[in-house]
C-alpha cells in the first residue's frame, strides 16, 4: 500500500542509527504511523490495505479501542484487511508510512506485557531524534482482522 502524500518526511529521513553516515542496511520494519491525542501509534504496513477519507463518523476509533478519551483533530480511516475480515478504523491525522530499523523496535517490558489490559498493543518503537526522543506504540490487530 502506498500513500499519495508522505507528510513531513524530514522527521524520518535519518535512518542512520549506527552513525556510519549512511542509511542502515539492517532489517527494517515498515509502519503506518498515525496519532491519537499526544500518542503516536503505528501499525505494520502489511496490515493496512488502504487510507480512506473520513466519511463515516460512526465507525470505531482507535482511541475507543485503546480506552482513550476523545481527541480533537482531523480524522482519516485506515482499512485493515486480514484473513478474518475487513475493519475500518478512524485515526487522527497525519498518517504517514515510515521504515524503521529493527534496532528501533522493542518488545513490551515483561511486567507491562503481563498486566496489559488492552488488545492490539504489541510492541514499542523508540526514535531518538528529534531529542529527547519519541515513543511509538505499535499496534497489531492479530487474528481479529
Partner 1 sequence: MGTERGGADDQGEAGPGPAAPAATLDAILEQRGRVGSDSPIVAVDAVTAQWVLFHLGERPFAFPGRQVVEILRTPPIHFVPGCPPALEGVIEVRGTIWSVLRLADLLDTPAGAVTRRNAILLGRAADLASGLRVDAVDDVLDLAANAILAPPADLAGRLQGVVIGVLPHRGDAVLALDMAVLLRAWRDAGP
Cis (ω within 30 of 0) for the bond into 132?
yes
Q: Is residue 99 close enough to count as binding partner 1 by CB under 8 A? A: no
List the 134-139 sheet strands across, edge first.
Answer: 48-52, 75-81, 86-101, 28-36, 39-44, 134-139, 121-127, 105-107
Q: Is residue 133 close enough to count as binding partner 1 by CB under 8 A? A: yes
Per the CB < 8 A criterion, the answer to whether 49 and 1 are in contact is yes
Question: Shortest distance, CB of residue 67 to partner 1, whole angstroms?
Answer: 6
Interface with partner 1 (CB under 8 A), residue from 59, 68, 81, 93:
68
Count of residues binding partner 1 (CB under 8 A)? 23
> Which residues in this chain contact partner 1 in the complex, by CB under 8 A?
38-39, 66-68, 106, 108-112, 114-118, 121, 124, 126, 132-133, 135, 137
Amino acid at each position: 500500500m502506498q500513500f499519495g502524500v508522505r507528510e513531513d518526511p524530514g522527521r524520518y529521513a535519518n535512518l542512520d542509527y549506527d552513525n556510519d553516515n549512511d542509511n542502515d542496511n539492517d532489517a527494517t520494519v515498515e509502519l503506518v504511523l498515525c496519532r491519537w491525542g499526544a500518542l503516536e501509534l503505528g501499525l505494520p504496513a502489511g496490515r493496512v490495505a488502504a487510507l480512506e477519507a473520513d466519511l463515516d463518523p460512526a465507525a470505531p476509533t482507535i482511541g475507543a479501542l485503546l480506552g482513550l478519551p476523545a481527541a480533537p483533530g482531523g480524522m482519516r480511516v485506515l482499512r485493515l484487511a486480514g484473513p478474518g475480515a475487513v475493519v475500518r478504523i478512524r485515526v487522527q491525522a497525519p498518517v504517514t508510512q515510515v521504515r524503521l530499523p529493527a534496532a528501533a523496535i522493542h518488545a513490551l517490558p515483561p511486567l507491562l506485557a503481563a498486566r496489559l489490559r488492552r488488545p492490539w498493543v504489541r510492541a514499542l518503537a523508540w526514535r531518538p531524534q528529534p531529542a529527547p526522543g519519541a515513543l511509538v506504540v505499535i499496534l497489531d490487530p492479530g487474528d481479529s482482522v
